A and B are shown apart, each in its own frame.
Chain A
Amino acid sequence: MPSPAGAPTRGGAPATGPDPVLDDEPALRLYRQMVLIRRFEERAARAYTEAKVGGYCHLNLGEEATVVALMAALDRTDYLFTNYREHGYAIARGIDPGRVMAELYGRTDGVSRGWGGSMHLFDVESRLMGGYGIVGGQIPLATGAALAIDYRDDDQVVMCLMGDGATNIGAFHESLNLAALWNLPIVYVVVNNGRGMGTSVEQASAEPELFRRASSYRMPSSRVDGNDPEAVYEAAIEAIGTARSGQPCLLETVSGRLKGHSVVDPAKYRDRAETEALMAADPVAAFAARLRERGVLGDALSAEIDSEVTTVVEAAAAFAEASPLPDVATLFDHTYATPVRNDSRRLPGQPLFPIGASMGAPA
């Protein structure tokens, strides 16, 4: 994987090349998914304000191009580890949006049965090996999954997603070193959306061209415009191929975060110019414009996609709403995978021993 000559800058609308990377049909498929994720996230934010969703809720708004292109490049049998900003990835991986929304609602039909919430989506079938809430926590795990693949001489790869901020965690550096040392089949993807919570990449990283960090481990790396789904797709295909050949690599996608860090963050640390630049670079609008220019997307089709996606998202919310909340009797069902003697199954108000059991016979 070559290092790029010129790193793309944040905020420019994707250029229309003479040769489209994707044919009309797959390009439209990506576009439809981008719109779906956009509407899903907006719906999730609304559900949060209606107190249907609790805890922390981080959205992929502004990252849709990156999300759908990475997932399109990854094979069904490959593995995915990610952080807590992962609704879009789950949907693009093919999980029913209803099951994703149900997890946000804390319902039994949720992908993690209501135990994980927004930050902790998991699905065996689609090999989504978890969203993780501890920054950087997924990076060693993903590295270990790649170790398992290598150990078994299988040919899948692992894709490990993380934010820009996560590259400052020690585990990032430890993991890259291990993967490079052991030639593990893994692609680390740094989804650079410009900020951790409020802290910018430049404020947090002494090497703000994050993809260059891989060179400390002699690992090939590159940077791509994360607002351009076709560019991301192309770069991801290459990176995945590299990893499949037993050479770990790192891909940095550069995009933006349209809203706050989580739905409760008003993003007051951003000035107007920055917000306007983000809006101007909106990947969904930009890709729509490109497809229109190519003559692939017209008003009728655009409206059809919008209405179809709206239906899917509303159905997801309705499915979540109708799904039952977990029964309190199941509280102790997931502490251990195997039954074990003397496991505590005591509710907070229950005594350790029956009242009076240690006091001799009552009078």
Chain B
Amino acid sequence: MTLISYRQALHDTLRSEMHRDDRVFLIGEEIGLFEGSYKITAGLLAEFGPRRVRDTPIAEEGFTGAAIGAAMLGLRPVVEIMTINFSLLALDQIVNHAAKIYGMFGGQARVPMVIRTPGGGGQQLGATHSQNIELYYAFVPGMKVVAPSTPADAKALMLAAVRDDDPVLVLENLALYNTKGEVPDEDLPADIGTAAVTREGADITVVAYSRMAAVALRAAEELAATDGIDVEVVDLRSLRPLDRETVIASVRKTNCAVVLEDDWLTYGIGAEVAASISDGAFDWLDAPVRRVAMAEVPLPYSKPLETAALPSTDDAITAIRQTLDAVARRR
């Protein structure tokens, strides 16, 4: 185990996978000479050269599509899209091609590629640069979407993604890049499609992913200290496929749940989780499943408006307390 940042875990994993497999190459805007907008690829151009670390023009649709084509011939491209907002320019290639090629041609061609891209707002980047639209990809059969919330998972899920034979979108997060954690030294790829119970607890289940999974743990520690509430945290890790079993097992134990998400509430990831809980744990529920999500507005630039619109640890704590109050009234 080594204590490193989420950024470092991503960097080290990409580097070691490039050493392991010559088919793996990096492609994206400003990843080489500029060393990556968020410095995930720092030093890799110098180490591997421009064949393996390919700087592109600003042409998301073009280079993402080109990566899909290269993957069809057996290369294993890792595409960096600077932030998930700009993936919208490549949406057609991802949804209509990356996700379709295996099925549409009857299983004859695979698309073993990774799309790495950070989500996250909260830095006054404004409406077009602060979106959490991973749902657009998680909605599509044929795509795999993973969302690490810790440095250890950043490594494990990136390893799994690079070695997977399907297109995998790895959702990173701007606010997580500097967070630190213990990371195993060995290569242990995660099982894509599985969630993890990151904190065991008896009183309430909190389901989250990416940045909000870290918020969930913070809220849990705070509530343990202040209210003696014992929160169980389920980190989804994989948005598609979705590990409903782990969520349901937890709710059947705690009898109530809160979902935390950084995307918009209506039709969001939390809606799918809540519907799954209703399907799989109806008789176990002692309160409605509560969702904490971003206010449904184009995110304003101005700080007080932005702060009000984004879900916070306090919002999570309030929702957990209110849900447990409702449970208590019921019992």
Contact = CB atoms under 8 A, between A and B. Distances in A.
Interface string B34-75: 100100000000000000000111110110000000000000
Contacts of B30: 196-199
Contact of A166 (B58, B61, B266, B287): B58
A59 B256 CA distance: 51
Interface in B94-112: none
A196 B288 CA distance: 50
A120 B292 CA distance: 29
A135 B81 CA distance: 13
Q: Which of B293, B298, B303, B319 has the largest number of chain A CB atoms within 10 A?
A: B303
A362 interface: yes
Contacts of B310: 348
Contacts of B266: 344
A241 B305 CA distance: 43
Given A106-B303, A117-B301, A199-B29, A359 B326 contact: yes
Interface in B275-293: 287-288, 290-293
B252 to A, nearest CB: 19
B57 A199 contact: yes
A132 B126 CA distance: 11
B229 interface: no
Interface string B285-319: 00110111111111011111100111110110011
Interface string B120-155: 000111111100000000000000000000000000
B298 A331 contact: no
A326 B305 contact: yes
Contact of A55 (B57, B301, B315): B301
A182 interface: no
B119 to A, nearest CB: 16
Contacts of A133: 126, 128-129
A203 B55 contact: yes
B123 A55 contact: yes
B250 interface: no
Contacts of B330: 359, 363
Interface in A199-232: 199, 203-205
A346 B296 contact: yes
A154 to B, nearest CB: 29
Contact of A359 (B34, B126, B287, B304): B287
A136 interface: yes
B259 to A, nearest CB: 12
A117 B322 CA distance: 36
Contacts of A135: 58, 86
B322 A330 contact: no
A332 B129 CA distance: 19
A328 B265 contact: no
Interface stretch (A66-74, A308-316, A350-358): A350-358
B37 to A, nearest CB: 7
Interface residues of A, number: 54
A338 interface: no
A356 B329 contact: yes
How many chain B residues sit at the interface, stated as a range, is 35 or more
A349 B319 contact: yes
A332 B296 CA distance: 8
Interface of B is mostly: mixed
B319 to A, nearest CB: 7
A354 to B, nearest CB: 10
B308 A328 contact: yes
A119 interface: yes
Contact of B302 (A106, A169, A205): A106
Contacts of B305: 114-115, 326, 328, 330-331
Contact of B58 (A107, A112, A196, A362): A196
A135 B89 CA distance: 10
Given A115-B300, A335-B297, A359-B288, A169 B59 contact: yes
A3 B9 CA distance: 52
B254 interface: no
A353 B326 CA distance: 13
Contacts of B325: 355
A349 B33 contact: no
A349 B309 CA distance: 10
B85 interface: yes
Contacts of B287: 359
A133 B128 CA distance: 7
Contacts of A196: 29-30, 57-58
A54 interface: yes
Interface string A139-158: 00000000000000000000
Nearest to A335: B297
Contacts of B124: 54-55, 106, 117
A205 B308 contact: no
Nearest to B274: A352
B57 A344 contact: no
By Cβ-Cβ distance, the 10 closest A-B pairs, closest first, are: A54-B124, A198-B34, A117-B301, A106-B302, A168-B57, A349-B315, A114-B302, A55-B124, A348-B311, A204-B57
Given A55-B126, A55-B301, A203-B33, 18 more contacts: A55-B129, A106-B124, A114-B301, A114-B305, A116-B127, A117-B124, A133-B129, A165-B58, A168-B57, A199-B34, A199-B55, A204-B56, A325-B304, A328-B305, A328-B308, A344-B266, A348-B292, A355-B322
28 contacts: A114-B301, A115-B301, A117-B126, A120-B127, A165-B58, A168-B58, A197-B37, A199-B29, A199-B30, A199-B33, A203-B33, A204-B58, A269-B33, A269-B34, A328-B308, A331-B297, A332-B295, A332-B297, A335-B298, A346-B295, A348-B309, A348-B310, A348-B312, A348-B315, A349-B319, A355-B325, A356-B326, A359-B287
